[in-house]
Structure 1
Amino acid sequence: MSEQQWQSRTVEQQVRGTPTSDGAGVKLTRVLTQNLQRRLDPFLMLDEFRSDNPGDYIAGFPSHPHRGFETVTYMLAGRMRHRDSGGNEGLLASGGVQWMTAGRGVIHSEMPEQSDGLMHGFQLWINLPAARKMIPAAYRDIPAGDIPLLTGHDGATVKVIAGHYGAQAGVMQVLDTTPLYLDMQLPAGSSREVAITPGHNAFVYVYQGSVQIEGVAVAAQQMAILGNEGAGVRLHAATDVSLLLLSGRPLHEPIAQYGPFVMNSHAELEQAMADYQQGRLL
C-alpha cells in the first residue's frame, strides 16, 4: 500500500493512570479503568506495577476469585508465583507471560518470590463473550524465550505476545477477541507502522520515554486511545521509547462487573457471588 493510501489512526484521547493498590496492598497504577470499558471493549482493565521498594509489592495477591474473563500478566522484571484451584502452579519470571482464562471460575494467588529488587509488569483483563463466560478455567505459563522477538536494523525490538505483527504470529492466538499485544522498544528517531484490524479498538501505553502519533506527543505513563479510522498506527520515537500496543475485536455485549467478576447482567453477578460464597465457583 502506498504512503498516500496508508492512513494512520490518530490519538482520540490521552489518559494518565491513577495510583491505587490491590491485593494485599500492592501499589500500582490503574491505566484502563471501568469508565473506559465500553470504549475499549473487549479490554476491561490495565494495571502497571513498578517499584524497587519491597514494601510496595511484598504482600502480593493472596487467594482471590475470578469469573467471566481472561487475565494476562506480563512481567518485565521480578518473579511471581502462581497457584490456583485447578491445581496449576508456575513461576512468572522476567520477560514471561501468564495467560489465564477464568471462565466459569478460578481461585488463585500471585505472590512475589523476591524480597528485594525491582518488580515491574502489567496485568491486562480481556472480556469473554457471553457464550463462553462459563467455559472451564485454563492457564498457560509462557516463558520469555517462547515469545517471538523481532529486531530491526535500527535496533528496534518488537515482542509479539498475541496476534500478528506483519508475518510474525504471536505466541497466543485468541479466537474470541483476536487481541494484538505488542511490547515495542524503539530508539530515538525511528518509526514503525503497525497494521490494526479494521473495527478493532486500540490503544498505546507508553511506559518509558515518549512517542509521537501523527504529531501528538504521548509521554511515559500515558495511554493514548486511538481513533478507529485508519489501516493501523504510525509510531515515531521522540526519545528512546518503550510501549505496549494493544487492539482487539469488540464484543458489543453488556458489561456487568463487581470486583473480580465480569458478567453480562446483575443477576449473573449475584449468581457468581453466591457460587463463590457457597464453594460452587469452580
Structure 2
Amino acid sequence: MKVISQFTARPAMDGDGVNIRRVADFMNTRFDPFLMLDEIKSDDANDYIGGFPPHPHRGIETFTYIRKGGFEHRDQLGNVKAIKAGDVQWMSTGSGVVHSEMPLADAQDGLHGFQIWLNMPTKEKMRPAIYRDSTDEPLPETENDSGAKLRALAGSWQLTGAAPIDAPIQTLAGAGKIADLMLASNGSAQLDLHEREYVGLYLYQGEIVSQSAPQKTYSAGQYLIVDSQQLITLKAGEQGAGALLFAGQPIREKIVHMGPFVMNTEQEIQQAIADYQAGRFGSIKA
C-alpha cells in the first residue's frame, strides 16, 4: 500500500452542540468526489444529545453510517426513519432538502456513527432530491481466511480471496463506493481498486501496520489517501483495526462552499440562501 497523503481528524462541533471529529477539504478537493467525513463516537449522551435540528442542503450527497446507537431522520419529503446500528442512509440533495437527525430516545449504549459528504456534478446539482436507506435489509458482508471482514455500505466490493458483494445503494456521485473493513488481531486484507482513480481510508479503531519499507504504523483518527493503482494490503496490529474505505472518480469541477451548500459559483450560493429563506426548500411536517 502506497500512502500518498495523510490527514488527522480534528475535534469540531456541529448541530446543537454535537462533538465530532472531522476530516474535510473544500478548498483543494483532495478527496474528490468526497468532501468531508464526520465521526461521532461517545458513550456520554451530553456529547450528542442535542442532535442535528432541521437544516438545509443543496448540491451534495450525504451518506450516514451507524455502528452503535442511532438517529431518527425526518425530512421535507416525508421520510421518517430510525437509522440504527448497521444501517446506512443516503440523501442525494440536489436542488434542496431540509432534514433533521436526532438521537433515538431508547438508545442506551452511546453513539458511534459517520456522515460523509460527496460533491455532485454541476449537471445534477439542481435535480430533485433522492432518499434511500438500508433499514429493510441487512448490509452484505464477506470474509477472507486472514481475519478480515468487509461490510459493503455503497457500491460493489471484493476482498482478495473472498466472494464479491453488492451494497443496496449503488448510485453515489462520482461513482463513489464505501465499505467498512474490520480486521481481527494481526488480521490482513488485500483489495484491488484500480478501477477507481481515488481511494482513501479512515481508521476509526486500532492500528494498521504498513507492509512497505520503511514500516509505519497508522492509528485511529488518521485518514490516508492511497495509490489506487497498486494492490492495497492492510494488516492490523495486536488490537485489530476498523477502517472505512472510500473509492471514486474525481469530478474535477470548481466548487464554492458555504455551510450546508456546495455549488459552483458564489451567485449559486447566494441563490441557495435566498431560496431557503423564502421557504422554497419546503419544511418538515410535524
Q: Scaled by the length of structure 1, what TM-score is found?
A: 0.91
State the alpha-carbon separation in 2 of the partners of residues 150 and 143 from structure 1: 19
State the alpha-carbon separation in 1 of the partners of residues 113 and 173 from structure 2: 25
Between the two proteins, the alignment pairs up a number of residues equal to 272
Cα displacement string for residues 223-262 of structure 1 (whole angstroms, at most 9, x for unaligned residues): 112235x244111112311111111110010111100001
State the alpha-carbon separation in 1 of the partners of residues 5 and 173 from structure 2: 26
Counterpart of 2:232 in structure 1 is: 233
* Unpaired stretches in structure 2, ≥5 consecutive residues: 159-163
Counterpart of 1:77 in structure 2 is: 68
CA contact (8 A) 2:70 2:85 kept: yes
- Percent of pairs with identical residues: 40
Cα 1:18/1:275, change in 2 over 3 Å: same
CA drift of 1:155 comes to 3.8
Q: CA RMSD in A?
A: 1.7
CA contact (8 A) 1:156 1:185 kept: yes
Aligned AA (2:183): L
State how 1:196-215 maps to structure 2 within 5 Å: 196-198=193-195, 200-213=197-210, 214=212, 215=215
State the alpha-carbon separation in 1 of the partners of residues 208 and 167 from structure 2: 23
State the alpha-carbon separation in 2 of the partners of residues 232 and 165 from structure 1: 14
State the alpha-carbon separation in 2 of the partners of residues 180 and 122 from structure 1: 15
State the alpha-carbon separation in 2 of the partners of residues 176 and 23 from structure 1: 25
Cα 1:164/1:281, change in 2 over 3 Å: same
Counterpart of 1:126 in structure 2 is: 118
CA drift of 1:217 comes to 1.8
CA drift of 1:32 comes to 2.7
Aligned AA (1:128): M
The answer to whether structure 1 residue 248 and structure 2 residue 251 are counterparts is no
CA drift of 1:175 comes to 6.0
Tell me, what secondary structure is at the counterpart of 1:158?
strand
The answer to whether structure 1 residue 100 and structure 2 residue 81 are counterparts is no
Of stretches 121-130 and 145-154 in structure 1, the one that deviates more from structure 2 is 145-154
The answer to whether structure 1 residue 143 and structure 2 residue 140 are counterparts is no
Of stretches 231-240 and 80-89 in structure 1, the one that deviates more from structure 2 is 231-240
CA contact (8 A) 1:162 1:181 kept: yes
Aligned AA (1:185): M
CA contact (8 A) 1:162 1:170 kept: yes
Counterpart of 2:9 in structure 1 is: 17
CA contact (8 A) 1:103 1:136 kept: yes
Tell me, what secondary structure is at the counterpart of 1:34?
coil
State the alpha-carbon separation in 1 of the partners of residues 136 and 227 from structure 2: 31
State the alpha-carbon separation in 2 of the partners of residues 144 and 74 from structure 1: 15
Of stretches 168-177 and 22-31 in structure 1, the one that deviates more from structure 2 is 168-177
CA contact (8 A) 1:81 1:113 kept: yes
State the alpha-carbon separation in 2 of the partners of residues 199 and 65 from structure 1: 31
Of stretches 248-257 and 219-228 in structure 1, the one that deviates more from structure 2 is 219-228
Aligned AA (1:217): T
Counterpart of 1:3 in structure 2 is: none
Aligned AA (2:207): S
Cα 1:221/1:144, change in 2 over 3 Å: farther
State the alpha-carbon separation in 2 of the partners of residues 175 and 53 from structure 1: 33
Name which of 36, 39, 42 aligns with 1:51.
Answer: 42
The answer to whether structure 1 residue 88 and structure 2 residue 83 are counterparts is no
Tell me, what secondary structure is at the counterpart of 1:177?
helix
CA drift of 1:116 comes to 4.2
State the alpha-carbon separation in 1 of the partners of residues 73 and 173 from structure 2: 24
CA contact (8 A) 2:141 2:152 kept: yes
Moved over 4 A (4+): none
The answer to whether structure 1 residue 162 and structure 2 residue 154 are counterparts is yes
State the alpha-carbon separation in 2 of the partners of residues 86 and 107 from structure 1: 8
Aligned AA (1:47): D
Counterpart of 1:173 in structure 2 is: 170
Tell me, what secondary structure is at the counterpart of 1:188?
coil
